[in-house]
Amino acid sequence: MQKIPCQSARISRVQTPVIPVIGEMIARHPGTISLGQGVVHYAPPPTVAQAVAAAADDPRTYRYGLAFGIPELLDPIRAKLRNENGVRIGVERRIAVTAGSNMAFVNAVLAIADPGDEVILLSPYYFNHEMAIRIAGCKPVVVATDGEYQPDVASIAAAVTPRTRAVVTVSPNNPSGAVYPEATLRAINALCRDHGIFHVSDEAYEYFVYDGGTHFSPASIEGSEPHTIACYTLSKAYGMAGWRVGYMVLPMLLEEAVKKIQDTNLICPAIMTQFAGAGALKAGQAWCRSQISGFEKVRDTVLNELATLGDRIHLPRPGGAFYGLMRVNKRIEDMRLVEALISDFGVAVMPGSTFGLTEHCYLRAAYGALAAETVTEGIGRLVKGLGALI
């Protein structure tokens, strides 16, 4: 009798990405407004197209390149890190260009952890982080944040075991929009230093900070070089999700390990993508700020509309990113609610369970992918739907 081969047991324990699932639901209901996927509504700066056109005849674009990137991109990244993040790249640190910050995170996990090791995530977590840890054969250890989605350093410390390899922070946060204070990030970084583990800092939303707040990069802390890994991307602020360009800052002791991983997975970041990234950084932070400037007003509209639901939901005020994460104060399965909102009210949101929130019903609404007027229409549908369903 013929035996049928089966998939990896390790992969079978990895959650199914929810965005394609929601995408299929949306496709079955034309006209649905999606408050689901975390992308921005604007296109990249014109300097991206200019850089790509200028590089079209460069022979490097059709050859292999160095694993960590081309000088035309590494140099402006180095300057950006120094001038904006307070992170200096010297003999103790390296920069690696990656296919987005997701790849940077996978590189980090594979470089620092062995199967069975533990990586601490803060709940709610970014689902691709949890997936990457499981794919590597490691164990995600989930530590709850407080009622405002802020980390509790004592709880993180209590979760550290001899098998812990890293603590992961995402600030500004996906999915909650919370911005972690500098003092909290310093305390977490010190905790990692004292325990001989890594602090992995995901800073994909570094420019998306509101209410006069500021973003803090843990890699700027004096003495943080040996134990701090930082992940960045051009996907969000520069509107370049499809270009797949990001970068990571890593301790020199991980340079050889990450080169092995990057060479095996990618050989090198796509050369044309790197030229596109260099063009984006030529436009710089000022261009990003001009595109993001309207997001705070849109966020306020979202909060004001959802506030009309009163105590039927709990929604801490997000200080950054472009998400609102609400707890629904009714016992109902989150995917059931998501399906009803799409089929009956024409609006899509993400279920909280994909971010590790399973004790209550949570929904994440994203407002970055749509123009302000469409967001208003979508939130109106969401409020109407939640008002009828909960």
Q: Is 294 strand, coil or helix?
A: coil
**Under 8 Å between Cβ of 258 and 111:** yes
Which CATH number is 47-283 given? 3.40.640.10
Mean pLDDT of 239-267: 97
pLDDT category of residue 371 using cuts at 50, 70 and 90: confident
35-39, 101-105, 152-156, 348-352: segment of lowest average pLDDT = 35-39
Cα(363)–Cα(374) distance, integer angstroms: 19
Cα(348)–Cα(144) distance, integer angstroms: 26
Mean pLDDT of 91-108: 97
0.85 cut: is pTM over it?
Answer: yes
Q: Which amino acid is at 309?
A: L
Pairing relation of β-strands 198-202 and 347-348? unpaired
Residue 2 has pLDDT above 90, yes or no: no
pLDDT category of residue 370 using cuts at 50, 70 and 90: confident
Q: What is the pLDDT of residue 77?
A: 98
The CATH number for 9-43+293-389, chosen from 3.90.1150.10, 3.40.640.10, 3.40.430.10, 3.20.20.30, is 3.90.1150.10
Residue 343 has pLDDT above 90, yes or no: yes
Residues in the chain: 390
pLDDT category of residue 369 using cuts at 50, 70 and 90: confident
Cα(366)–Cα(302) distance, integer angstroms: 10
Q: Where in the chain is the domain with CATH 3.90.1150.10?
A: 9-43+293-389
Closest of 139, 181, 180, 145 to residue 163, by C-alpha? 139
| Beta-ladder partners of 327 | 314, 362
Q: Where in the chain is the domain with CATH 3.40.640.10?
A: 47-283
- The CA-CA-CA angle for residues 312, 318, 319, to 5°, reads 160
Q: What is the pLDDT of residue 372?
A: 85
Residue 244's region, left for phi above 0, alpha for psi from -120 to 50, else beta, is left
